[in-house]
Amino acid sequence: MISVITVTYNNYDDLHRTLHSLKNIDDIESVVVNGGDCKKTKKLLSNYDGIAISEPDQGISDAFNKGVTHATGENVMFLNSGDVLLSPDYLQEAINIFNLYPEISFVHSDSLFEDRISGIIYMEPLKSAFFSKAPLGRGMPYNHLTMVIRKSVFDKIGLFKLHYKITMDFEWVCRLQKKQFDGHYIGGDPVVKMDGGGVSSTTEQLVMWESLKSLIENRILNPKNIVGIIERSILYFGRISMETVGMTETLGWLKRRKHNSNWQRSFALSTKNNYSAVKSKSKHIFPTVLPLKWRLSTQNKIGINGLRIHD
């Protein structure tokens, strides 16, 4: 069984959308950790058919840890408030992989991401211009919200560290790779749609700083990761420069071309079914103009895990 952990903080509508995407899926356990004081959220969870924890927490790391601790499944997945599961079949695929290959510790896949500049883009595992396998210095190597992880892995490398406010998942993956746990990649279609919420440049700087701290803390700041950091920094300052000189539309086009060029099968997201269907379609339907709510949300403090950062 897979325990799907959902962390929420005063965002009832987003939580409702996420939980709706988990309806009628067999062999899962839904674990909701609510650290806010929203009355509608608390009312929803008071009669929830799953595990619900509503109490103050010390931030995202603490909420993640509560979810893992309360989960009773052999495997866990993190689907944060506002994110949507697109492919229920993916969960069964992950279980099949675990049953067939005991040495596999986690399964990961592709996702859709609502970017503040380029709209919806297709996200694959991270790539590097210099290495066949992107080093950790380049950034988060996997789409975290697609990761299905054996719960026993947490017993071996520990939970998320509380002093990380943004990159707790990246720091955890540093330990995962350092201990050389094997993963399995299932590509081809997005399995999760992530609500990016608009990552500001200030937040991205914090992400890069905490990522560097993670590498130092885990003693893996080696030459390969230093090259990855340099590559990441060049790309970051290039994006910031383009925005500064008013080339945002060009930047959006470049990002869409980069992320969507290898994915020729487009998708149809059904609003009525809450993005539960992903269908093949030859027509290109990625938006070139962002809706107003995205243009107004660029100052939200969002971590690389897609959650709003709170104290």
Considering only CA atoms, which of 72, 10, 60 is closest in space to residue 36? 10
Q: Worst-scoring range by mean pLDDT, 25-29, 204-208, 269-273? A: 269-273
Would you say 244 and 270 are in contact if contact means Cβ atoms under 8 Å apart?
A: no
Top pLDDT among 52 and 298 is at 52
Asked whether residue 197 is assigned to any structural domain, the reply reads yes
Count of the separate structural domains present in the chain? 1
Q: Dihedral of CA 152/149/65/211: which sign?
A: positive
Would you say 22 and 30 are in contact if contact means Cβ atoms under 8 Å apart?
A: yes
Q: Residue 197 has what pLDDT?
A: 59
For the whole model, what pTM was predicted?
0.81
In terms of C-beta density within 10 A (0-12 exposed, 13-18 middle, 19 or more buried), how is residue 281 classed? exposed
pLDDT at 238 over 80: yes
Q: Residue 311 has what pLDDT?
A: 41
Asked whether residue 29 is assigned to any structural domain, the reply reads yes
Q: Predicted confidence band at 113 (pLDDT cuts at 50, 70, 90)?
A: confident
Asked whether residue 181 is assigned to any structural domain, the reply reads yes
Asked whether residue 247 is assigned to any structural domain, the reply reads yes
Q: Dihedral of CA 309/151/158/69: which sign?
A: positive
Instruction: Calculate the average pLDDT of the chain.
Output: 82
Asked whether residue 308 is assigned to any structural domain, the reply reads no
Rounded percentage of the chain residues whose pLDDT exceeds 90: 56
Asked whether residue 122 is assigned to any structural domain, the reply reads yes
Top pLDDT among 152 and 310 is at 152
Asked whether residue 123 is assigned to any structural domain, the reply reads yes
Q: Tens digits of per-residue pLDDT, 7-65? A: 999 889 999 999 999 988 988 999 999 998 889 999 989 889 899 999 989 999 999 99
Q: Tens digits of per-residue pLDDT, 71-87? A: 999 999 999 999 999 99
pLDDT at 89 over 70: yes
For residue 276, what are the CA distances in angstroms to 82, 83, 154, 224, 281? 13, 11, 30, 40, 16
CATH number for 260: 3.90.550.10
Residue 264: domain span: 2-295
Asked whether residue 188 is assigned to any structural domain, the reply reads yes
